[in-house]
Amino acid sequence: MMKRILVPTDFSEEAHHAYEVAVSVARKAGTGIKLLHVVESVSYSPSFSATGDVLTGNNMQQVYVLQLMEAMKVQMNKFLKSVDHEGVPVVQELDVDRPISKIKRTIKEDNVDLVVMGSKGSSGLDEFLIGSNTEKVVRTAECPVLTVKHRHPDFNVREVVLASDFKREVGHAMERFKSFQALFGARLHLVYINTPGAFESSGNLFSKLEDTAKKYNLQNYSVNIYNDVIEEDGILHFANDIRADLIMMATHGRTGLSHLLSGSIAEDLVNHTSIPVLTFQLK
């Protein structure tokens, strides 16, 4: 059961898109949201509390950070009200820290069930919630991460792609994916991307996918073999063909490489597709 959704924000347009989607998911799940903004400071000091209050000392750095935090409080309040979240409890937190460290700590301390993040993708690397920072959260979060790039004012998931090589034990991830499917009553499309470098016969692959579906007692699903030159392109082309609302994948957190497909497919998808991507790190 989903109890807490975390939305890290830098107050950008992409973060706003993520907040909208998080509210839609929270309404479906009957859960609450935490908005988190982290002021990154090279000379971070524990002299500041989570709300920006000075605890000790009064040097210029502390004065500057305090003033910055006060400005961020105003920004956070505007951001909070920028999405109609009636019926969804939303709390907010500001902190001075390293963003990735704070996000990981919050996930653990608050028992977060889902992180929803905005991403610009592979361009504009001067922003916080893009590129390597988003990918770091995808690789290291101990809960599913839903990455959103564009606006989805009515986030209603009907068609879901689950891409895998279906060779490894993915039970924990599959249960999370099934829960998300059930939340929206969506149809799940299992897909194996058959590439020239790792070609298998369709008969063997269909058997493998059907065995997976039976093993995890999947409901409302289809099995699909899709031919393409590389896995990432195949996933994107298949998702576009069926007009998917969501792509789901598991990742290997230690290296950032996909545990289910060769290469850093999950991170590439987050960067290159306009479709929301739900990733889950396998231990």
Q: Tell me the fold of 4-148.
A: Rossmann fold (3.40.50)
pLDDT at 190 (0 to 100):
95
User: What is the Cα–Cα distance from 113 to 125, expressed in whole angstroms?
Assistant: 28
Sequence-ordered list of residues with C-beta below 8 angstroms from that of 97, at least 6 positions apart, any chain: 38, 39, 40, 41, 44
Nearest residue to 18 via CA among 137, 111, 151: 151
pLDDT at 188 (0 to 100):
97
User: What is the Cα–Cα distance from 192 to 189, expressed in whole angstroms?
Assistant: 10
* 101-117 mean pLDDT: 94
Look at the block and give the residue holding tokens 């210029």.
60
Sequence-ordered list of residues with C-beta below 8 angstroms from that of 13, at least 6 positions apart, any chain: 118
User: What is the Cα–Cα distance from 138 to 122, expressed in whole angstroms?
Assistant: 15
Residue 115's pLDDT band (cuts 50, 70, 90): very high
CB-based contact 92:76 (threshold 8 Å): yes
- pLDDT, tens digit, for every residue of 171-217? 778 888 999 999 999 999 999 999 887 777 888 889 989 999 999 99
pLDDT at 106 (0 to 100):
96
- pLDDT, tens digit, for every residue of 56-80? 555 667 777 788 888 899 999 999 9
* 243-251 mean pLDDT: 91
Helix, coil or strand: residue 30: coil
Q: What are the angstrom distances between the C-alpha of 142 and each of 104, 177, 238?
A: 8, 14, 28
Q: Within a 10 A sphere around the Cβ of 223, how many other Cβ atoms?
A: 20
Q: Which two tokens stand for residue 184?
A: 């929206």
Q: Would the CATH topology of 4-148 be identical to that of 159-282?
A: yes
User: What is the Cα–Cα distance from 20 to 22, expressed in whole angstroms?
Assistant: 5
Q: Could you name the CATH architecture of 159-282?
A: 3-Layer(aba) Sandwich (3.40)
CB-based contact 115:142 (threshold 8 Å): no
- pLDDT, tens digit, for every residue of 134-160? 777 887 888 999 999 889 988 999 999
Classify residue 219 as exposed, middle or buried by CB count within 10 Å of its CB (0-12, 13-18, 19+).
exposed
| Whole-model pTM over 0.95 | no
Q: What angle do CA 226, 228, 231 make, to 5 degrees?
A: 90
What mean pLDDT is reported for the chain? Answer: 83
Q: Within a 10 A sphere around the Cβ of 121, how many other Cβ atoms?
A: 17
**Angle between helical axes of 265-272 and 231-241 (0-180°, round to 10):** 50
Domain ranges (residues) in the chain: 4-148, 159-282
User: What is the Cα–Cα distance from 191 to 260, expressed in whole angstroms?
Assistant: 12
